[in-house]
A and B are shown apart, each in its own frame.
Chain A
Amino acid sequence: MVTNTSNGGASSLGLRKPRRFDPNDKRIIPGLLITPVQILLIVMLIFPFVLEFVISLTEWQPIYGDFWDAFNSVFTQKINQGISYNYLVTDEPRYLQALGRTVIMSVISLCLEFVIGLGLASLFLKKFWGKRVWFTALLTPMMIMPVVVGYTWFMLFQYNGPINQVFGWIAFSPVNFKWLNDATLAFIAVIVTEVWHWTPLFFLIMLSGLNAVPENPIRAATVLGASNFKIFWTIILPNMKAVIIIAFVIRGMEVVKLFDEIYLLTRGGPGTATETISLYLYKLAFEDFRLAYAGSAAFIVLIITVVLINMMLKPIRYQLVEGR
């Protein structure tokens, strides 16, 4: 007798195979069982997203009446399709300026936060007096609510506030910087506030990154005669690549959303000197009620952010996904 070994002994003995879940089974029940969750996900995640995209294609504002008419117009009146996109990119310098300003502000703040954070973290590799107290003190700013931070620095940056006073003491003559009323100074003030608020996060991430750098390669480089500077550039920084990129990604996603501090400090002013993309969107949507228009503006930001973040992740993507 030829036994079909691949089928196991069960069929030859006339026994039925035990019933259990078979991933190749095309029966509908497993599919049905996960359907409610799928629907829930679609309703909660994808539907609003699609709806928002559709709105962004129209010119709808609440005062125009029911949305559904406007919605239909997307399909009937071809003229209106994507009109706000076209307008935003070609004819609205304020939007493009806000975008550019956000990018410049983000890059400057992140670089400052990174350099200061890494510097502070390097200091913490050595022993010094009061290290624990300093550690807690350095971390505190990031635990403060943005609104409080905004208010605090609003007060500090006043025309006759403490910062001007301290500068006055140093310069031995009264200093009257109009921090929040001068375009350049306001820009600096916003960056100072942002850097003060979020350097602690960089410090924390950099410190854990520095501590995770294996010690023996550093010692090996020392024995081979490398200077401290050389060791930092050729051994420590490359070993921290993933940590640094992840810190930039996390902070990058946060910093493009920068809103509350600026709102309290300058409201985007003077003029539009400190108007970031979030402030611009806010004004569009809640001061001008141009919802569809704000929707398109937001969509462009989303796409730029997704592309930029993925570009930043590219060098470590393989390492993270494959786990080596």
Chain B
Amino acid sequence: MAKIKLELVNLRKEFGELVAVNDVSIAIEEGETMALLGPSGCGKTTILNMVVGLETPTGGDILIDGQSVLKVPPGDRNVGLVFQDYAVFTHMTVRRNLAYGLKIRKMKQPEIDREVSKVAEFLSISHQLDHKPSELGASELQRVAIGRTLVTNPEILLLDEPLSNLEAAMRNQMRRELRRIQADTGQTIIYVTHDQIEALSLAHRIAVMDFGSLHQYDTAHNVYQYPANRFVGSFLGNPPMNFLKGKLTEDGGKRIVTSGDSTIPLPAGKLGSDVSVGSDVVVGVRPESLNLAAADDPGRFSVPILAVEPQGPETVVTASFGDSTFKVIVPTGTDAVEGSSISLAPESDLVALFDAESGVRLLDSGERR
């Protein structure tokens, strides 16, 4: 394992009665990009502010390179923060914006000029150096904000919802740009977003948060394929994960979940201790991990079809499983008619089992990456 750059230890922040960040512990390796993912108001930005020093934690510790930085003032932590609204200094030219941090570090003017032109070239804003921010477009402002931070060569770069103020086309371009920055500079980056696609496409690791609590912190692959609980499963993926309510039973040594006439087989694996045969459970399965079953597939199960919606090359089939409905994506041309039934087989081990009440993952199956 590479060197740990930043470590949050039981980090906690309360605003009066409200617990904004509830004992979050995360370790980030050097050169890694970590996405803090969660719906608005889940405490992502509060974590950034605490790392950077704009907020003081109520409890816990923040370690950079193994040293606690709680007593270090914001400017001396050498952590760069790019604000969601960019917070570019509107009364200064782009050049003076980029030079601001270097001037404060009392760098000599020729050196400042060199560094500024280097970072401006890297971010392709050289032609705008002598313009005021009011003459710039949103993506250029974003580059100025990133450049202003990058030029000071921070240990960790924090990005607060960097793409949310851009229109769709710009967003894709800037996403590529961010990936390039990350590859070329080898920066350790923390990236706050509420957009799961951004998180999945940019980050090595994702921390999924809700209501101030950390739900899962793992690689992008594992967070997507093996959600730790029902919230993580529902927050990532589009169309969202299917949730099928049922009872856990056993059939000839194999675990299955039944509801009404329908049954779905579960993969082998270690079952949580507080769950037994007969418990109410929820099966979580992503639409794309359900395939049409071959006639002799041992894991196959049959469900009645409620609706068929062809969408060009794919067809979305809505089927029922007991009281729950769920969606499956099948190739167009599949023999699926409303009222008949469809035979499906889940992809090996990508079926998750959650507790019906707490939503916690019960079955430890599959291979994590």
Task: Mark A residues whose CB is within 8 Å of B.
Answer: 214, 216-217, 219-227, 230, 234-235, 238-239, 241, 324
Structural contact, A224 and B104, CB atoms closer than 8 A: yes
User: Given A216-B85, A230-B104, A324-B134, A223–B91 Cβ distance below 8 Å?
Assistant: no
Chain B residue nearest to A237 (CB atoms) is: B91
- Residue of A217, A222, A226 most packed against chain B (CB within 10 A): A217
Q: Which residue of A lies closest to B76 (CB)?
A: A225
Cβ-defined partner of B101 (8 Å) among A214, A224, A239: A224
Q: Are A224 and B148 CB-contacts (below 8 A) given A217-B88, A219-B54, A239-B91?
A: yes
Are the CB atoms of A223 and B88 closer together than 8 Å?
no
Are A224 and B75 in contact (CB-based, < 8 A)?
yes
Measured CA separation A7–B320 after assembly (Å): 64
CB distance from B320 to the nearest CB of A (A): 50
Contacts of A241 in B (CB 8 A): 91
A226–B87 CB distance below 8 A: no
Dominant secondary structure at the A interface: helix
Q: A216-B83, A219-B83, A238-B91 are in contact. Are A226 and B104 (CB under 8 A)?
A: yes
Q: How large is the interface on B (under 10, 10 to 19, 20 to 34, 35 or more residues)?
A: 20 to 34
- Bound Cα distance A31, B52 (Å): 66
Question: Across chains A and B, which 10 residue pairs bring their CB atoms closest together, nearest first?
Answer: A225-B75, A216-B87, A224-B101, A220-B87, A238-B91, A217-B87, A225-B104, A216-B83, A223-B81, A222-B74
Given contacts A217-B87, A239-B91, contact A223 B105 (CB under 8 A): no
Contact B89 A223 (CB under 8 A): no
Tell me whether B53 is interfacial, beta carbon within 8 Å: yes
B85 touches A223 (CB 8 A): no
Closest beta carbon of chain A to B76's beta carbon, Å: 7
* B101 cross-chain contacts in A, Cβ below 8 A: 224-225
| Cβ-closest chain A residue relative to B96 | A234
Name 13 interchain pairs, CB-CB below 8 A, sorted by A.
Answer: A216-B87, A217-B90, A219-B54, A220-B89, A221-B100, A222-B54, A223-B54, A223-B75, A223-B81, A224-B101, A224-B152, A225-B76, A238-B92
**Distance A239 CA – B105 CA, assembled complex (angstroms):** 23
With A219-B81, A220-B83, A224-B152 known, 6 other A-B pairs at CB within 8 A are A220-B89, A222-B74, A223-B80, A224-B104, A225-B74, A226-B104
Given contacts A221-B100, A225-B75, A226-B75, whether A235 and B89 have CB atoms under 8 Å apart is yes
Smallest CB separation, B205 vs chain A (Å): 24
Contact of B75 among A222, A238, A239, A324 (CB under 8 A): A222
Query: A residues within 8 A CB of B352?
Result: none
B79 at the interface (CB under 8 A from A): yes
Distance (whole angstroms) from the CB of A65 to the closest CB of chain B: 61
**Complex contacts, B104 vs chain A, CB 8 Å:** 224-226, 230
Using Cβ atoms and an 8 Å threshold, which residues of chain B touch A227? 75
A238 surroundings in chain B (CB, below 8 A): 91-92
Most buried by A among B85, B100, B105: B100
| A222 CA to B75 CA, complexed, in Å | 6
Nearest CB of chain A from residue B90's CB, rounded to whole Å: 8
- Roughly how many angstroms separate A18 CA and B83 CA in the complex, as a whole number? 56
In the complex, which residues 58-92 of chain B have their Cβ closer than 8 Å to any Cβ of chain A? 74-76, 79-81, 83, 85, 87-92
Residue of A nearest to B135 (CB): A324
| Residues of chain A within 8 A of B87, CB atoms compared | 214, 216-217, 219-220
A218 to B: closest C-beta gap in Å: 8
Within 8 Å by CB of A217, from B52, B53, B80, B89, lies B89
Within the complex, which residue of A214, A220, A324 is in contact with B81, where a contact is CB–CB below 8 Å?
Answer: A220
Instruction: Contact check, B52 vs A223: say whether CB atoms are below 8 A apart.
Output: yes
Measured CA separation A72–B264 after assembly (Å) = 112
With both beta carbons as reference points, the residue of chain A lying nearest to B86 in the complex is identified as: A216
- Residues of A within 8 Å of B85, CB to CB, are 216
Q: How far is the CA of A227 from the CA of B105 in the complex (A)?
A: 11
Residues in B neighbouring A226, C-beta threshold 8 A: 75, 100, 104
The CA-CA distance from A220 to B97 in the complex, in Å, is 11
CB distance from A21 to the nearest CB of B (A): 38
Query: Which chain B residues border A234 with CB–CB below 8 Å?
Result: 89, 100
Residues of B contacting A225 in the complex (Cβ-Cβ under 8 angstroms): 74-76, 101, 104-105, 152
User: CB-nearest residue of chain B relative to A216?
Assistant: B87
Pick the most buried of B83, B145, B148: most chain A CB atoms within 10 A of its CB: B83
**Residue of A217, A220, A223, A235 with highest tally of chain B CB at under 10 A:** A223
Cα separation A61 to B104 with both chains bound (whole Å): 66
Tell me, rounded to whole Å, the shortest Cβ–Cβ distance linking B105 to chain A: 7
Report Cα–Cα, A230/B101, bound state, in Å. 12
* Most B C-beta atoms less than 10 A away, residue of A225, A230, A238, A239: A225
B148 cross-chain contacts in A, Cβ below 8 A: 220, 224
Cβ < 8 Å to A, chain B residues 99-116: 100-101, 104-105
Query: What is the bound-complex CA distance between A224 and B52, given in angstroms?
Result: 10
Bound form: Cα–Cα A220–B80 in Å = 9
Chain A, Cβ-Cβ closest to B80? A223
**Does B53 lie within 8 Å of A223, measured CB to CB?**
yes
Shortest Cβ distance from residue A217 to the other chain B in the assembled complex, whole angstroms? 5
A224 touches B83 (CB 8 A): no
Q: Look across to chain B and name the residue whose beta carbon is closest to the beta carbon of A230.
A: B104
In the complex, the answer to whether B100 meets A224 with C-beta atoms within 8 Å is yes
Smallest distance from the beta carbon of A244 to chain B beta carbons, Å?
13
Considering only residues 316-368 of chain B, those with a C-beta below 8 Å from chain A are none
Q: Report B39-69 residues with CB < 8 Å from chain A CB.
A: 52-54
**How many whole Å from B103's CB to the nearest CB in chain A?**
9
Q: In whole angstroms, how far apart are the Cα atoms of A234 and B97 in the complex?
A: 11
Q: Compute how far the CA of A177 lies from the CA of B90 in the bound complex, rounded to whole angstroms.
A: 51
* CA of A239 to CA of B89, assembled, Å: 9
A324 and B145 alpha carbons, distance in the complex (Å): 21
- Give the CA-CA distance A225 to B54 in the complex, in Å: 12
